[in-house]
Amino acid sequence: MESAFFPPKEQIHRLIREVLVEDIGQGDVTTAAVLTDAERGEGKAVAKTELVVAGLDVFREAFLLLDKDIIFTPLCRDGDRVKEGDVMARLEGALAPMLMAERSALNLLQRMCGIATATERFVRTVEGTKARILDTRKTAPGLRVLDKYAVLVGGGCNHRFALYDGVLIKENHIAAAGGIAVAVERARARVPHTLKIEVEVSNIKELEEALAVQADIVMLDNMDLDQMKRAVEITGGRVPLEASGNVTLERVRAIAETGVDFISVGALTHSVQAADISLLISPLAH
Amino acid sequence: MESAFFPPKEQIHRLIREVLVEDIGQGDVTTAAVLTDAERGEGKAVAKTELVVAGLDVFREAFLLLDKDIIFTPLCRDGDRVKEGDVMARLEGALAPMLMAERSALNLLQRMCGIATATERFVRTVEGTKARILDTRKTAPGLRVLDKYAVLVGGGCNHRFALYDGVLIKENHIAAAGGIAVAVERARARVPHTLKIEVEVSNIKELEEALAVQADIVMLDNMDLDQMKRAVEITGGRVPLEASGNVTLERVRAIAETGVDFISVGALTHSVQAADISLLISPLAH
Amino acid sequence: MESAFFPPKEQIHRLIREVLVEDIGQGDVTTAAVLTDAERGEGKAVAKTELVVAGLDVFREAFLLLDKDIIFTPLCRDGDRVKEGDVMARLEGALAPMLMAERSALNLLQRMCGIATATERFVRTVEGTKARILDTRKTAPGLRVLDKYAVLVGGGCNHRFALYDGVLIKENHIAAAGGIAVAVERARARVPHTLKIEVEVSNIKELEEALAVQADIVMLDNMDLDQMKRAVEITGGRVPLEASGNVTLERVRAIAETGVDFISVGALTHSVQAADISLLISPLAH
Amino acid sequence: MESAFFPPKEQIHRLIREVLVEDIGQGDVTTAAVLTDAERGEGKAVAKTELVVAGLDVFREAFLLLDKDIIFTPLCRDGDRVKEGDVMARLEGALAPMLMAERSALNLLQRMCGIATATERFVRTVEGTKARILDTRKTAPGLRVLDKYAVLVGGGCNHRFALYDGVLIKENHIAAAGGIAVAVERARARVPHTLKIEVEVSNIKELEEALAVQADIVMLDNMDLDQMKRAVEITGGRVPLEASGNVTLERVRAIAETGVDFISVGALTHSVQAADISLLISPLAH
Amino acid sequence: MESAFFPPKEQIHRLIREVLVEDIGQGDVTTAAVLTDAERGEGKAVAKTELVVAGLDVFREAFLLLDKDIIFTPLCRDGDRVKEGDVMARLEGALAPMLMAERSALNLLQRMCGIATATERFVRTVEGTKARILDTRKTAPGLRVLDKYAVLVGGGCNHRFALYDGVLIKENHIAAAGGIAVAVERARARVPHTLKIEVEVSNIKELEEALAVQADIVMLDNMDLDQMKRAVEITGGRVPLEASGNVTLERVRAIAETGVDFISVGALTHSVQAADISLLISPLAH
Amino acid sequence: MESAFFPPKEQIHRLIREVLVEDIGQGDVTTAAVLTDAERGEGKAVAKTELVVAGLDVFREAFLLLDKDIIFTPLCRDGDRVKEGDVMARLEGALAPMLMAERSALNLLQRMCGIATATERFVRTVEGTKARILDTRKTAPGLRVLDKYAVLVGGGCNHRFALYDGVLIKENHIAAAGGIAVAVERARARVPHTLKIEVEVSNIKELEEALAVQADIVMLDNMDLDQMKRAVEITGGRVPLEASGNVTLERVRAIAETGVDFISVGALTHSVQAADISLLISPLAH
């Protein structure tokens, strides 16, 4: 996993544990009543549609946390594109924990594959331009670390993870400070010197102010294509430009062709289409 | 809030707290550098499209947990339909915490309104039939209590919350037990007597077996319309029937007209389209 | 473990961990001062009276969580009846962790065996009638999952686990709603369709109302034997009846003979007599 | 509350919160379906038998944590003896949270009153002797702080709270160390100087060894009355003596009359008879 | 509090709560035995030496978390320099919680004032140069948010908070990647574009490599004064330079005069001299 | 580890886990960007100065919690004195987790060795007298269990761990109770009989009062050498005496020579000089 996000296993485990507790609580009444400890089963995770794989490790852990003796055999890797009908992984072991973890594991995997698949579509659409596709902080509450990892897997880049690891001076910060110059100056004096200072602008005049005070990055907020082109010309490569606001698959190519460096896309994570994946489980003779 | 889910505030607070920690961590570097404690602001949550409101309390708490002195004035109620441009709530107070909580609060509200809006569309589409729209366990990991509440607000009904509060004997349970009759008998002997026993069937023969052993509810899994009609006839009202599998807005009316009692829709919560809502914040003179 | 409660190991571990922390805190000052890491010992859990075994897995885990190298050999199984003097399990390993976990492990085991033993006595007393013995929510705070498991092991059945997985409309709900009919109707409209609706009644008139609105189960609260017999006659098998209130070992047979289906017994878990079990530890030569 | 245990409210709150979560989880389905937010009610906690009150604060907090606007009026104090039919406290407020917290609150109060009542009976039985009644570590897992508080309220004294705050050299420690003298010497060298050193002995010879090395306290384990009398004579008041093992209400007076200083009683907390207390709730007109 | 670290109160409270639990556990046996609830007292926090104040809010919260009715009156503000004998804050309220929180509150305040005081001494020593004093990640485990806040209060600047919010390519990263150029290129491709890339160099050759690949910041690791001067000349202001390694109060001025932009000082937080502060408490008549 | 503190591994792990989370959060951006999973490395923990080793187990666990496959070879033991240049431990394994855990592991080890080294210096200074060196509750918040362990390793003794496991009646308790006699009498009546009663006195008159009521230990608070000598004479060995207040390395020998039994030294833990230890990591060919 060569990614800028390398979350320690510890933390992923804690998240999965909470997900299992949410679904299983004091026990799965159906499985406990109908099965015994003796039954064994085999499971196959099957893609029901073409998709980009993300989250196989998370999927595996959901089963292993319930029963460390389940044998999990991945048949693809994060980042692979699989076709409808492809078996993504195989499981073998006690049937009861397999049934108990099924929904939690799929909920995680389907969301992550959904994000990676959508991201890859955006990335492919801008291929050949220099624009890179970014995510945002519009993630599902509590799942940011997984949502952002899935964006990486899909070929996108991560914007700041949270409010604590990146400076983005927005309209309201500027209004409160009394102008772009003051806001940037305060940030430069006070934030750790390891952070760049990004400023959000909504028109050319503001862009010029941001450039004048040497912002490190400028975000073009909700500009139309002509404004963006003009912004690219004026900036002349001095700082990277990030396009933001209402970015759709239909419009993203045109945005990329304006010459901006980054395009951030909220929908990648705020409006996820779960990838269609089934777990086909069958009891094994014993 | 007249709902079957009445989660103690305590637990909602804990969830919101974790969401704020995910986004703010050790601090919002931008706000801390650019603002002082003195600035005050006003915020308006504005619907950017028509939507059904859900989660206003959760939205409010995200701000109040950061700063209990923020004044929050709701201008609509959960379950209301608002139009594009309507102001859903107004906030007033210290600007810094308002900016720090903004994204977390919106992530929660936009998801919940998205779910309620989609649910209401399904409910409206089956109006006049006896079918009720159900949710599933295909919710965002960690957010089930909010996802299911939003379904209720949108006019849907809740299926079991988790594996611990409802019995649903699925294909794999049946295969492991060696048949529907054995599986139902085991469940009847072992689960608390307060729970009904629902059995999943995928054809008419299985339906007849389930009826023969007096299952309390039968789920028709991935049947076509004709099969469903036949199932309704055979059942003759003896037990409620639930249609499940690939339910889309296009197809739901036809399903309802087969005469089934319930239709469960995974997409309500696994593929949420976030409702478009902005928080317009403006500094106040002080 | 064929039970309707199948709590994931994860959660049992968390509970045991908290129990160990309660008793050991920053360390066992006596053991740390008097022993070294080198001493090894052997332990035998001995029944000091006849009892029904419950909780051997929990007992084992209390030792293994402190020291995973302790060798634990169970000599009986949950549900077995053992006699005074029987050795229930044998341990071998480092002496220090064995002494540190001893009290926590016994506190758990003695309570669970106590519950199973008492339950089995009730179950045996009603043998030959159709009545099944139920537990209640009157469990030791924080220990419900263990208390209810022990009831199952003793041959009883579990009532709802908590407020979230069963509907029980009590006197106060009825008074607030304005009558049994309204209360049941509201519940039917709003609770998940997988839950049965149980209604508490305290006289024959209320029973008739509950039957009229087709409650799924009726609880006879604090009725005398004659009333219960009358209730059974009137009901005529249409719905299951549950007797509740002041059920003692002396009185339970007579209650069962009225023909009720279930008898719930609070004392099984609210007034537990700890089973008398000793852990005989002896140092091993090394 | 003049007690040696003065647990910060913070911690009691956390415990009560967990108890409420155990019972309410994602919501009380019955109350949520049948009641609205509008109903108000009045509750009276009534003793159904004579008892010693303990835990009124804990009882109150269980309601207030769910709804801080419930008005709670205590009508007695911890340590009071109340008669059958006495109203112990009155509540007024929203009906829904009152019903939701009822069982959790009573489970806590009934256990605590049960412990205090039993303790008081032991204390009364030894009245006139110098013996003081002690509790042990045989408490309900997770509830030690409440169990031990209830013992104090009932007039008993607390033995060490846990393994970390008292030194008790038992048979196994002695065997592992190779004798009482070595064990005591090691403890004296290594434990904090603020802790006394108590040694468990099971015969007169061991008592003499313990006295020879100046143990601070000696526990007489499972001695018969004659042995205890002899131990008292030999000790001659040099150190306090604690009688331990199989102490029943029938036997405690005779033990006390041997002249021992302390008598520890495991049954006070390991085999609690819950005090019989009802909460009579009635809806209020609104 | 105008700082780049603006930790939500929620998190500070959680930290303080854990500190109180560490010290109070199940109760303060001395206070519980000797005091009643009735006693009231007054406390004065007095500087026993000249110091820079940091952490007054944290100090206050330690008392208020135990008893929200304690009246706390600060007599100075974070960042103030106070003299020996100055009263920093006054408290009034119930005596028992005041005594119970005293040590925890002082442990926090004395550490924070110690850090601020040491930082201020370094900052003053380099006055007149352009060098800014930085902290490091060599903080007390679990206390980083407080340690770094105290550095800010003392006039220092914060380096990255943790591994997640700043890029620092060290010797080992370079060796593993196979050279500075490859390492920087990989970082530029993969880390969020909001982060600057800092490279650690230990000689002039490495500095030149780092400059060649346009590192955003260069850390001069353990260089002597001559090397640093040479590095400043070579860099010619193209990127900021940070001096690191064995920085003492004796040596810091000379380092600053080499012309580096930043000087990071591990000792500010890894070897704290607690500031000498007493809490003088006196009972009040009541 | 023969110590009076024997904290279960469970709890140490939890502490280390929190420390790792504090430093790594959602991931180490540098390592994730520059390294792959393939690189392996070797690390050596090298003492940069003479020191007493403490905390090697804690150091090891910080690495193993991130990656259980790292091979850790200790080359010394807690309590050993090592010289400048000595290799204390060797590590081998995946390079990425080694780099990610490095700072957390060193922060813990350097603090613990710093405390042990300072303690050993105090202990050596009083060699030949009967005085034993004690720690206090002036530890780093959250780290008490490690701080106190390090004191033991350095040859010191532990005072009470917290407020819950030792009785120390201070000036304020005495004032509130109305005198030493009343305070001691209350404590004797109410605290567990396993705890000694220590009384703080600041002059000879108070000492005499404490002796008169048979306090078990007396703390001489901030007395000068002459007063201490006089106190020793008056006490005549009846109870142990503890000297406290402003104990420095310069003064400690003279204090010991007054004949006191214990000397408590706050600076051991409140003003720690981190021991200078480096982790030299080098990539291994693979």
Over residues A216-260, the pLDDT tens digits come to: 999 999 999 999 999 999 999 999 999 999 899 999 999 999 999
Name chain B's partners: 3 or more CB pairs within 8 A.
A, C, D, E
Closest CA to A111 of A167, A68, A158, A52: A52
* Whole-number Cα distances in Å, F221 to A66, B58, E281, F218: 57, 54, 16, 9
The answer to whether A134 and A242 have CB atoms below 8 angstroms apart is yes
List of chain B residues whose C-beta atoms are within 8 Å of the C-beta of residue C242 = 193
Helix (H, G, I), strand (E, B) or coil at E97: helix
How far apart (Å, rounded) are the C-alpha atoms in residues F75 and F89? 5
Pairing of strands A132-134, B277-284: unpaired
Half-sphere exposure in the Cβ direction for F220 (13 Å, CA): 31
Q: In DSSP terms, which residues pair with E264 in a beta bridge? A: E134, E244
pLDDT at E283: 87
| pLDDT over 90 at D250, yes or no | yes
More confident residue, D285 or B208: B208
Question: Once rounded to an integer, what is the mean pLDDT over residues B93-100?
Answer: 94
Q: Which two three-digit tokens encode residue E62?
A: 């330690």
- How confident is the model at residue D50, as a pLDDT? 98
In angstroms, the Cα distances linking A62 to A21, A91, B6 are 11, 12, 28
- The pair phi, psi for residue C52, each rounded to 5°, is -100, 125
Q: What is the pLDDT of residue E284?
A: 87
Q: Which CATH class is domain A9-118+273-283?
A: alpha beta
Residue A11: predicted pLDDT: 83
pLDDT at D104 over 90: yes
Terminal alpha carbon distance of chain D: 37
Task: Give the pLDDT score at F9.
Answer: 79
> Assign residue C245 a region: left if phi > 0, alpha if psi is -120 to 50, beta otherwise?
left
- Furthest-apart CA pair in chain E: how many Å? 75
**What integer is the mean pLDDT of A133-158?**
97
Superfamily of the domain at B124-270: Aldolase class I (3.20.20.70)
Q: How far apart are CA E239 and CA D231, in angstroms?
A: 84
**What is the SS3 assignment for chain F?**
CCCCCCCCHHHHHHHHHHHHHHHHCCCCHHHHHHCCCCCEEEEEEEECCCEECCCHHHHHHHHHHHCCCCEEEECCCCCCEECCCCEEEEEEEEHHHHHHHHHHHHHHHHHHHHHHHHHHHHHHHCCCCCCEEECCCCCCCCCHHHHHHHHHHCCCECCCCCCCCCEEECHHHHHHHCCHHHHHHHHHHHCCCCECEEEEECCHHHHHHHHHCCCCEEEEECCCHHHHHHHHHHHCCCCCEEEECCCCHHHHHHHHCCCCCEEECCHHHHCCCCCCEEEEEEEECC
Element at C119 (helix H, strand E): helix C95-125
User: What's the rounded Cα separation, in Å, for the pair D152 and F191?
Assistant: 11
Burial tier of C245 (Cβ tally within 10 Å: 0-12, 13-18, 19+): middle
Query: What backbone phi and psi angles, to 5 degrees, belong to A233?
Result: -60, -50
The residues facing E167 across adjacent strands are: E197
- Check if A9-118+273-283 and A124-270 are the same fold: no
Q: Does F18 touch chain E (CB under 8 A)?
A: yes
Reported confidence tier of residue A48, pLDDT bands at 50, 70, 90: very high
Contact status, residue F93 vs residue F67, Cβ threshold 8 Å = yes
Q: Do residues E68 and E80 touch, judged by C-beta distance below 8 A? A: no
Report chain F residues whose CB lies below 8 A from the CB of C33. 4
A177-to-A203, B283, C204, D117 alpha-carbon distances in Å: 18, 10, 74, 66
Query: Which chain E residue has its CA at the smallest distance from D145's CA?
Result: E26
Residue B224 has pLDDT above 80, yes or no: yes
What is the band of D8 on the pLDDT scale with cuts at 50, 70, 90? Answer: low
CA-based radius of gyration for chain E: 23
The subunits that touch chain A, with at least 3 C-beta pairs less than 8 Å apart, are: B, C, E, F
Cα–Cα distance, D156 to D147 (Å, whole number): 11
How far does Cα A207 stand from its chain's mean position? 29
Write the single-letter amino acid at A166.
G
Q: pLDDT tens, A52-104? A: 999 999 999 999 999 999 999 999 999 999 999 999 999 999 999 999 999 99
* Per-residue pLDDT tens over the stretch F231-273: 999 999 999 999 999 899 999 999 999 999 999 999 999 999 9
Query: Average pLDDT, stretch A7-28?
Result: 88
pLDDT at A286: 59
Rounded to 5 degrees, φ, ψ at F129 are -95, 175
Best to test chain B binding among C11, C193, C197 (most B CBs inside 10 Å): C193
Q: Quick one: pLDDT at residue D148?
A: 96
Look at residue C9 in the predicted model and tell me its pLDDT: 79
Q: Give which of C166, D252, D104 is closest to B160, Cα–Cα.
A: C166
Check residue A264 and give its pLDDT: 98
Identify which of D3, D10, D161 has the shortest CB distance to residue E17: D10
Per-residue pLDDT of chain C (286 residues; tens, 9 = 90+): 434 444 667 788 889 999 999 999 999 999 999 998 889 999 999 999 999 999 999 999 999 999 999 999 999 999 999 999 999 999 999 999 999 999 999 999 999 999 999 999 999 999 999 999 999 999 999 999 999 999 999 999 999 999 999 999 999 999 989 999 999 999 999 999 999 999 999 999 999 999 999 999 999 999 999 999 999 999 999 999 999 998 999 999 999 999 999 999 999 999 999 999 999 999 887 5
Q: Does A177 touch chain C (CB under 8 A)?
A: no
Amino acid in position D281: I
Helix (H, G, I), strand (E, B) or coil at E272: coil
| Span F208-223, average pLDDT | 97
Q: What is the CA radius of gyration of chain D?
A: 23
* Measured distance CA(D80)–CA(C203) in Å, rounded: 36
Task: Give per-residue pLDDT as tens, D179-228.
Answer: 999 999 999 999 999 999 999 999 999 999 999 999 999 999 999 999 99
| CB proximity E190 to F under 8 Å | yes
pLDDT band at A211 (very low <50, low <70, confident <90, very high): very high
Q: Do B100 and E8 touch (CB under 8 A)?
A: yes
CA of F106 to nearest chain A CA: how many angstroms apart? Answer: 18
E and F: number of Cβ contacts within 8 A = 213
pLDDT in the model for residue B209: 98
Q: Mean pLDDT across chain D, nearest whole number?
A: 94
Average pLDDT, stretch F153-171?
96
Smallest CA–CA distance, residue B141 to chain C, in Å, is 18
CA distance C244 to C222: 6
Structure tokens at A265: 């896309």
**Contact by Cβ (8 Å): D106, D29:** no
Interface test with D, best of B6, B152, B153, B196 (most D CBs within 10 A): B6
Whether residue F209 has pLDDT greater than 50: yes
Q: Distance between CA B38 and CA B96 in Å, rounded?
A: 9
Evaluate if residue B7 carries a pLDDT over 70.
no
Burial of D85 (0-12, 13-18, 19+ CB in 10 A): exposed
Which positions in chain E touch F168 (Cβ < 8 Å)? 30
D192: closest CA among E19, E238, E101, C32? Answer: C32
Residue D263 φ/ψ region, left for φ over 0, alpha for ψ in the -120 to 50 degree band, beta for the rest: beta
- The ipTM value here is 0.95
Task: Render pLDDT for C43-86 as a digit per residue (tens, 0 to 9).
Answer: 999 999 999 999 999 999 999 999 999 999 999 999 999 999 99
Query: Do residues E155 and E142 make contact, with C-beta atoms less than 8 angstroms apart?
Result: no
Confidence (pLDDT) at D285: 75
Could you give the percent of chain E with pLDDT greater than 90?
91
Stated as kind and residue range, the H or E segment containing D29 is helix D29-34
Q: Give E129's contacts (C-beta < 8 A, 6+ positions apart).
A: E253, E256, E257
High-pLDDT (> 70) share of chain D, %:
97
Chain B's closest residue to E10, CA to CA, is: B66
Please tell me what DSSP assigns to residue B166.
-
pLDDT-derived band of residue F87, with 50, 70 and 90 as boundaries?
very high
Its pTM stands at 0.95
The residue of chain F with its CA nearest to that of C63 is: F8
Average pLDDT over residues E185-211: 97
What is the structure's pLDDT at C32?
Answer: 92
Distance (Å, whole) CA D211 – CA D181: 10
Residues 6+ apart with CB under 8 A from F230: F204
E34 touches chain D (CB under 8 A): no
**Where along chain D do its domains lie?**
9-118+273-283, 124-270
pLDDT at residue D107 greater than cutoff 60? yes
Residues C59, F165: Cα–Cα separation, whole Å: 28
Please check the confidence at residue F112 and state whether its pLDDT lies above 70: yes
Whether E168 has its CB under 8 Å from any CB of chain F: the answer is: yes
Q: What is the DSSP letter of A25?
A: T
Q: State how far the Cα of C177 lies from the Cα of D35, in Å rounded to an integer.
A: 7
Asked if residue D2 has pLDDT above 80, the reply is no
Q: CA–CA separation, A181 vs A169, rounded Å?
A: 11
Q: For residue A3, name the pLDDT band (cuts at 50, 70, 90).
A: very low
H/E stretch holding C63 reads helix C56-66
Instruction: Confirm or reject contact between D243 and chain F (CB < 8 A).
Output: no
Q: What is the pLDDT of residue A9?
A: 79
User: Chain B to chain E, count of Cβ pairs less than 8 Å apart?
Assistant: 40
CA distance E218 to E206: 10
Q: First and final CA of chain F: distance in angstroms?
A: 37
Contact of E8 with chain B, judged by CB distance below 8 Å, is answered with: yes
The bridge status of strand E217-221 relative to strand E241-244 is: parallel
Among B170, B229, B230, B251, the one annotated catalytic: B170
